[in-house]
Amino acid sequence: MDENITSVLSEKRTFSPSNDFVKQANLNKAEYERLILKAKTDFEGFWTELAEKNIFWFKKWEKVLEWNEPFSKWFIGGKTNISYNCLDRHLEKKSDKKALIWIGENGEKREITYKELFNEVCRFSNALLKLGVKESDCVVIYMPLIPEAVISMLACTRIGAVHSVVFGGFSKEALADRINDSKAKVVITADGGYRRGQVVPLKLNVDEALQRCSSVEKVIIVQRTKNKIEIKPERDLWYHELTADSSLENKAKELDSEHPLFILYTSGTTGKPKGILHTTAGYLLWTTVTTKWVFDIKDSDVYWCTADIGWVTGHSYVVYGPLSSGATSLIYEGAPNYPDWGRFWEIIQENKINIFYTAPTAIRAFMKAGVEWIKKYDLSSLRLLGSVGEPINPEAWMWYHENIGRKKCPIVDTWWQTETGGILISPLPGITVTKPGSATFPLPGIFAEVVNQDGNPVPPEQGGFLVIKKPWTSMLRTVYGDDERYRQTYWKRIKGAYFAGDGAKKDSDGYFCLLGRVDDVIKVSGHLLSTMEVESSLVSHPFVAEAAVVGYPHDIKGEALCAFVVLKTVEALHAAPLLAEELKNHVAKEIGPIAKPDQIRFTESLPKTRSGKIMRRLLRDIASGKQTTGDTTTLEDISVIEKLRENEL
């Protein structure tokens, strides 16, 4: 935050939606303009209208919004259920429509209709109830991307339990921390999951994690890989046995609008991950509405968002948004390059995917793999493309547009966060003239602005902080169990506005361009990592005295991690090359492979200010091979920098 954000990019190319797309779009220009105006002149009326049109309510609300900065309550007095909205309400018209198409890594396929999904969710809801899971109890879901993962989420929300999905690529340590923070009673997992032909031992990780967790009473295991696992009879239950005699009759609970829906952990600047808490009605409303507006979902569409359910994109735009809209959502268990780089395009061809939503890091990897993988397949079913997770550089945008979209598909570059619950800034595909590298404009109802430290708007083309000035329905309600951290993290830095750490600029046409994170949270392959977390993991190694981790630009990952490490003894340095590998693996084991540093550099000391704060800006320059720029006068010992530069191991 102590650095100015400078923006150097200036994009002149623009792309208008085709007439054909415009004609059929869910949202047209006149309606868009009406909505923008309505949100400005009658804020609560705007949300009322959306909530009446898009959601099934058991009971209507009495009050739209109670705003007590930074705490919001929406649709107070209303009763609804997200599982009901995703399933029951479609049964009359769509019971035979495919809700999910699942592709396993080994090529297996399961197609599940709305009626079948409803049955499975009811069956599993009853099983959870029988185990004694109650409203507001927390259930951790640690699974591969298989239909049972989606069924588990919907069953939890059906009975009012709060799910906390932990990404299956996370280590047992990360899992244990998350279980302990949420005090989960039940863990749903699988014997294993497939990843590039290997079995990920999920159940084994759960067993080891639970040695550190006392809250968990039951573990439910889906049989997926049939690898050998240990069963603890008093604690462990097979999913298929548990549900075998379960009834299909289950009435969705009528839950308060503000009933807690899920917790999802995201990285913060301090070691401990933050449990982002979302609640029922507001989240449901915005994920439903944005699916309709941004993805232009039609009844005939087959939609594929490539995210895992362990991330918020998987929650909002694999499960809840699409199912609440009655769409067909495809899920794929495996890696994009398994068995080869043609896998995604083959899935698109075979399933006639119409809408495809993925991340810039994947797009860059496909660019590198080469267009010959794409040319083999027929992608003519595609009509809309999306991108999420980090800024998409104009070069990748153009590549996506030309090679995947065949210059015909609008691209929606959607900006949002775990905290925002749903998309806040994005093109509307039938309306917006897009520019590569820009997420374009805030959606109706979203009051975003680019401001300086004092909260005042900055002039066009100048970098500043991206803030949201009014509450929205799918905003996080708090950091689970820590209201003060919620206030400090998001509402203290810029007065009167929500700030979650991104720099941005508006260009001279008012287009929003995202400039990346401004604090010590960085994005590697589209996933947020806290440099603090990686540092504390390094310091937990017996040889390490101190560590500072920074990001540097990387062609495919977007950013990669460089760790500057001070060892406890000089002797340890003799083993440096081996030790570097050992430390990398140590982090991978403690946090998960995505957090593994790309470079380890040993140093005698770290550059610090006189008050003892590590000057990461300088380390970032070194890691990215740049000259040190900017002020170094607060540095305690300038020679540290010289030594670091000499010492390139």
With a CB cutoff of 8 Å and minimum separation 6, the contacts of 481 are: 181, 275
Report the distance separating Cα 121 and Cα 291, nearest Å: 22
What are the backbone dihedrals phi and psi of residue 177, each rounded to the nearest 5 degrees, phi first? Answer: -60, -45
Residue 526: CB minimum distance to ligand WT7, A: 7
Report the distance separating Cα 419 and Cα 442, nearest Å: 16
Between 81 and 164, whose beta carbon lies closer to ligand WT7?
164
Between 127 and 529, whose beta carbon lies closer to ligand WT7?
529
Number of residues forming the site for ligand WT7 (CB under 6 A):
21
Measured CA distances, 273 to 68, 202, 458, 479, 587 (Å): 25, 21, 32, 10, 16
- Contact status: 393 vs ligand WT7 (CB under 6 A): no
Residue 424: CB minimum distance to ligand WT7, A: 9
> Tokens representing 92?
């009359």
Burial of 285 (0-12, 13-18, 19+ CB in 10 A): buried
Between 301 and 390, whose beta carbon lies closer to ligand WT7?
390
Do the beta carbons of residue 477 and residue 258 sit within 8 Å? Answer: yes
- Contact status: 391 vs ligand WT7 (CB under 6 A): yes
Structural Rg of the chain based on CA atoms: 24
Between 114 and 498, whose beta carbon lies closer to ligand WT7?
498
Contact with ligand WT7 (CB under 6 A) among 103, 424, 514, 591: 514
Residue 192: CB minimum distance to ligand WT7, A: 26
Residue 382: CB minimum distance to ligand WT7, A: 19
Contact with ligand WT7 (CB under 6 A) among 260, 389, 442, 445: 389
Between 255 and 514, whose beta carbon lies closer to ligand WT7?
514
Which range in 17-25, 96-104, 110-118, 407-415 contacts ligand WT7 by CB under 6 A? 407-415
> Scanning residues 242 to 271, which ones bind ligand WT7 (CB under 6 A)?
266
- Contact status: 427 vs ligand WT7 (CB under 6 A): no
> Tokens representing 295?
């993805």
Our CA angle for 275, 524, 565, nearest 5°, is 95
Residue 523: CB minimum distance to ligand WT7, A: 6
What are the backbone dihedrals phi and psi of residue 506, each rounded to the nearest 5 degrees, phi first? Answer: -110, 140
Report the distance separating Cα 67 and Cα 87, nearest Å: 31
- Contact status: 413 vs ligand WT7 (CB under 6 A): yes
- Contact status: 422 vs ligand WT7 (CB under 6 A): no
Between 117 and 423, whose beta carbon lies closer to ligand WT7?
423
Do the beta carbons of residue 358 and residue 390 sit within 8 Å? Answer: no
> Scanning residues 306 to 325, which ones bind ligand WT7 (CB under 6 A)?
311-313
Q: How many residues belong to the chain?
A: 649
Measured CA distances, 183 to 96, 158, 314, 396 (Å): 39, 20, 23, 42
Contact with ligand WT7 (CB under 6 A) among 173, 191, 308, 502: 502
Contact with ligand WT7 (CB under 6 A) among 27, 528, 538, 606: 528
Residue 437: CB minimum distance to ligand WT7, A: 9
Residues found near ligand WT7 in the complex (CB under 6 A): 266, 311-313, 388-391, 413-418, 439, 500-502, 514, 517, 528
